[in-house]
Structure 1
């Protein structure tokens, strides 16, 4: 695939460079690769206090202004001594000359055969390079201790200046999604605020004359729209700003108005419905009119139909993700396609989904030639290993199965039937859903 990193490549140029590109028979990997080559990060930086920065994407590298720790210090409560006093295979008796507390500096000297009582984090006295934990010592008198032979080596239990982080080195890299531990690290460096990428603005709407929003009357043949609420939850988990545009009718004028409004007010648009074979032709015509959009039939189940590209209106543009209308297919398509693309747009480091290999608790039917995503329940087997079972019926409209599941079973395109006890790829939902 011939693309230039950091340069906006045309979608048609990307697909034209693929010798095996077939929009009607695309593999999951091919679709992911095209998105990765096409997506460009959104610009926009703001400065926040570290209390406000949790979950945000770091916009610049953070260079440590200090050494961490700032001085050689004790890694535990015990006694600081000179390593040269240690003799292999011999018991050692030392005189205790002082006590050093954390936050205080000992300015005296420690001679041969002497030591000081020291607390965790306290500065190491000059000439001392070793700490013996107090549980490895025996008190002989108020000012003398004994250390058993072979219980210590020179340099043990001492933290060196700059050991965790040396001054001038990168503490956190650009693109890092800040965690609670990162906030603590920033505070330990004396850094009160950081530059972060602005939040992505994502517009969502569903299409379909049969859809009703919550609070509306449910006429015969109609259903409540659940997809916007699912998408809202997944996007909020990613830290996006969500513009919910409701349900859009299946007519060209309403759809164009929604597309233009979304494009002019958001960085990305995620729609559900209107991309399957047999859907109204005006959907495709409109997307083509507003920009460059590819309509794909991906070799996967659920979530086969998808539209992807970019549209423009009033001088602004937005990436478009046209997801299928079935509730489970929406979630599958989001996690395996839109999620990584949105991470890339936000300037975040791309974090692969945490996929594990787990034994199947039962036989699973599968035909080669497509990737299948089945809802599963992870549990501990009688043999102590993790096992996984499907939730039951795997219809793409059964949203309850996603609520009951705690993982997604991934059956790769080259796999056939799975026998009980065979290893499967599994994506836990913890932290995702």
Structure 2
């Protein structure tokens, strides 16, 4: 791993801080997908990443069938424009119960959606487009064509066709697609093991009374919940106080058991911030300072063959940094080939936003649609990186570009819907 030389993280002017895109590119270039796979039942495969291609063993549909409820007949018998033809209804075809026999000229079969086409029939007329007197249907020419409302065998998928490629993260429609081919198990990549821990002597477990200056460990719960949305195995390592010996032991223990270690806190330059120092002694440091708000201090490196990410301790900075950097990093570790696209919308900002050029900012916002159909966005209030409620209230992140200055009311800004991330 290449180490990027950076000045102190305490420098308020941020010289040498990595651009957000450069930091992400460096992180992605430093990690590789996990090795190994397992075979799982199809119902357990959603959100897992395919290890090998899915090849269809059958045609889908497996038989030529009707796309509607109606009447099957021979297309060559359709009347010309303005003419009327009558057809004798000689039977019924249901899904799973086909009509037996050959359909002759002048005959029709009552057919339901999904039922196999009778021998000799190549066209289906919707029941709403014919008149039925109990024995015969009357058809007026001009509105029907040969082949109407028929789904051909193999029209969706052909036998032997590669349907899904390795590296695809399986979605609910993918699961249904695989089921339609009669496949009950798939080979998927092994889940990356992610060790998660919080650092800080001030952290208290939930349910215990807070001492002087103490806070509850919300970061670990926030990140644990975010990780549960991914195809990873979460290894909760609890909290570790600001003690270099205990931190070193915890990091090495986590790295020995995991593919990725994520910690929060201790990545700045305070007297009790030891993460960068420890990482330098037991592993390698790629960088620790990003031109981003919130989330400027972020330690990235490795311990042995294990990737290490030290996120900021401030709650908002931790989760924003997770979504901006750790999420795509974990997607690569999972073996995802089709990376998630972060959809950005343009919205009119209804308030003034203070912004200093030279860093990317993600402010928490509330996106609403006006009566005229335009999108407007406002902040959730205070943008302090310690106010986790601002993330809970928000439905978007307002993404302010690296070189952008102050935003005035009425200016257009990019917004990232949090529904995509959460």
The TM-score normalised by the length of structure 1 is 0.89
Aligned partners of 1:301 and 1:171: how far apart in 2?
A: 42
Gap runs ≥5 in structure 2: 7-13
Aligned with 1:400 (options 389, 395, 420): 389
- Report matched runs for 1:3-402 at 5 Å: 10-12=1-3, 24-87=16-79, 89-95=81-87, 96-139=89-132, 141-278=133-270, 282-312=274-304, 317-348=305-336, 349-402=338-391
Distance 2:15 2:174 in 1: 42
Give the equivalent residue in structure 1 for 2:9: none
Measured against aligned partners, the alpha-carbon deviations of 1:365-408 in whole angstroms (never above 9, x if no partner) come to 32332211011112221213332221011111100111111221
Question: What residue number does 1:416 align with?
Answer: 405
- Aligned residue for 1:351, secondary structure, equals coil
Cα-to-partner distance string for 1:190-215 (whole Å, 9 max, x where unaligned): 11111112222111112222222224
Q: Is the contact made by 1:94 and 1:115 (CA closer than 8 Å) also made in structure 2?
A: no
CA apart distance, 1:342: 0.4
Partner SS for 2:415: strand
Tell me the alpha carbon deviations over residues 283-319 of structure 1, each in whole angstroms, 9 at most, x when there is no partner.
Answer: 323212222222232111100111112112xxxx311
Instruction: State the SS of the aligned residue for 2:300.
Output: strand
Cα distance, 1:421 vs structure 2: 4.1
Instruction: Give the Cα separation in 2 of the matches to 1:72 and 1:78.
Output: 15
Q: CA deviation at 1:43?
A: 1.2
CA distance in 1: counterparts of 2:195 and 2:253, whole angstroms: 9
RMSD across aligned C-alpha pairs, in angstroms?
Answer: 2.3
Contact preservation (8 Å) 2:242, 2:273: no
User: Which blocks of at least 5 consecutive residues in structure 1 are unaligned?
Assistant: 1-9, 16-21
SS at match of 2:221: helix
The range that moved more, 392-401 or 97-106, is 97-106
Inter-CA distance 286–384: structure 2 relative to 1 (3 Å threshold): same
Superposed displacement of residue 271, structure 1: 0.9
- Please say if residues 91 and 146 of structure 1, whose CA atoms lie closer than 8 Å, have aligned partners that are also in contact: no
Distance 1:344 1:304 in 2: 23
Distance 1:150 1:127 in 2: 22
- Counterpart CA distance in 1 for 2:353 and 2:126 is 56
Q: Is the 8 A contact 2:79 2:85 kept in 1?
A: no
- 268 and 147 in structure 1: CA distance in 2 versus 1, 3 angstrom threshold: same
1:94–1:290 CA distance, 2 compared to 1 (3 A): farther
Partner Cα separation in structure 2 for residue 302 and residue 231 of structure 1:
16
SS at match of 1:11: coil
Figure out how many residues of one structure are paired with residues of the other and give that number: 413
